[in-house]
Structure 1
Amino acid sequence: METEKGIALIGVPLDENSSYMRGAAAGARAGIEAVWCESANLWTETGHDLSRALQNAGPVDFAGAESPGARMERVARSARAVGESGALPIFVGGDHSITYPLVRGLREAVGEFDILHFDAHPDCYDLFDGNPASHASPFARIMEQGLCGRLVSVGIRTATGHQREQRERLGIEWLEMRHRASWPALSFARPVYVSFDLDVLDPAHAPGVAHHEPGGLTTRQALDIIQAINAPMVGADVVELNPARDRDGVTAMTAAKIIRELAGMMLDGMGLAGVKKAG
């Protein structure tokens, strides 16, 4: 992984904490390759040309990290390093368990921030199948350790009684799909980290995920929320792309679209010099 100032796209090919099926590790490469697919271009909807600002920094190096704990520590170290470099990171997973070490490492480098979390699931189990590092548990670890100021989870549409208790205990805000018509406009007082689980989208829009949960956001609705973020962004992750479940690369291209628009919002927040934007 090599980074310069700008926006660094970093693969995190881990899925060993997935509960239902493996395959998201391959999503890191598939999602990043789709960003540069010749069927699209590197301009954002908001008018940014990403060809100079966005760089493929390569995957996290797991050489010598022989245990799950060592690999998660390597993820945290990578996040801290890119934060200290002055680059803005977009991490591409991989399953959602990577978000906890990413947030931990980035918090050490850049200070306090809020999290905007897109997901069908709250991912706040205390334990899932006895695993505290499960992809169903990252936000429990984040909130228990005070790693963010505010956590807003958008698109929730399946939650157990335990997760509802966790929401109250941990102080998490949910915007549930059943209340979509009355969602308030979001406003953040601190910088924002976005964690985007692709299963927040309805399976009609993103079939290439392990967990198909009908009744989700459209791609357009998700983009509208991203483009309305009112605070500078410190980083993001896009997770749970499973190429083995995808159809004609639709979900990979959707992930690439989300990545590009997140990058555009990062540029808006930072006002980076030398980055071309259309009128």
Structure 2
Amino acid sequence: MKIGFVGIGVMGKPMATNILKSGYELMCYNRTKDKISGILKKGALVSNSVEDLIKWSDTIIFMLTTPEVIESTLIKNIEDLDIYEGKIIINMGTISPSFSNKLKEDFSKYKASYIDAPVSGSKKPAEDGKLIILTSGNPTIVDSLNPLFRTMGNKITYCGEIPKASMTKLSINLLILHMMEGFSEMINFAKKGCIDLNSLFEIVLSGQVSNDLFKMKYKNYIDQEFPVQGSVKNGIKDLKLITETAKETGAYIPLTNLNHKMYLKAKELGYEEEDFSAIIKVLENSMQVLKC
């Protein structure tokens, strides 16, 4: 199987690297060429155009940011859309359910099979090949792709017909973004009372509320450094998708709407490119921190 991978970013690079390590033939494309040099040195082929990558590949994975970028890269800038005939096209990024449905309709016109397979996890799980991969689409095709998915993830869950994987992914991200904001509020509240963070984390991380996310992020707050695993920018993108989908489906999500405003405030304060745990800086900027 020849795999084409479009979008070698924070998540795409380690995912593509793990595909390559597993012995698949791999060709990559990225708009920003300097991001692709590392995987080229590891043995991947690099294409100068998406069209050449599509022609070469049996299966095309894309890990792109927005509907506009996806449509521009994969549809609008392709001169001959007939090159998609017989191909399998896999979305592994976070998109809205309605846009996933649109992609299914578009690619079916070009006689290609579209599979929705967004991943849950951040940079470190991507590097370790321990992403959770949510799949939807033709179950026979999905089953045939599971060996490929297992190069990138250690848990693959079939969610049903398109767009259920994307809806599931947004549901999970809604919770994760709340968890990070709530964790930050707890820390800011405790600091107001002059509580030692090491003691606080020892209690929290050994109790009922402990989870992998908090274990991964707590050192950020101690060191006051926020290395990017999942950015504020991506959090804003996901919250926009979530709030728009809620309007489409009639879901009432009042706390999520407030959380969206918090992340937008983080962008306004200049934290857009930092890890989403940097949301605590919004809280600290909103009120003077007590000097203990």
- Normalised to the residue count of structure 1, the TM-score between the two structures is 0.31
Structure of greater Rg: 2
Flag the structure with more relative contact order, 1 or 2, with Cα contacts below 8 A and sequence separation at least 6.
1
Q: Select the structure that is richer in helix.
A: 2
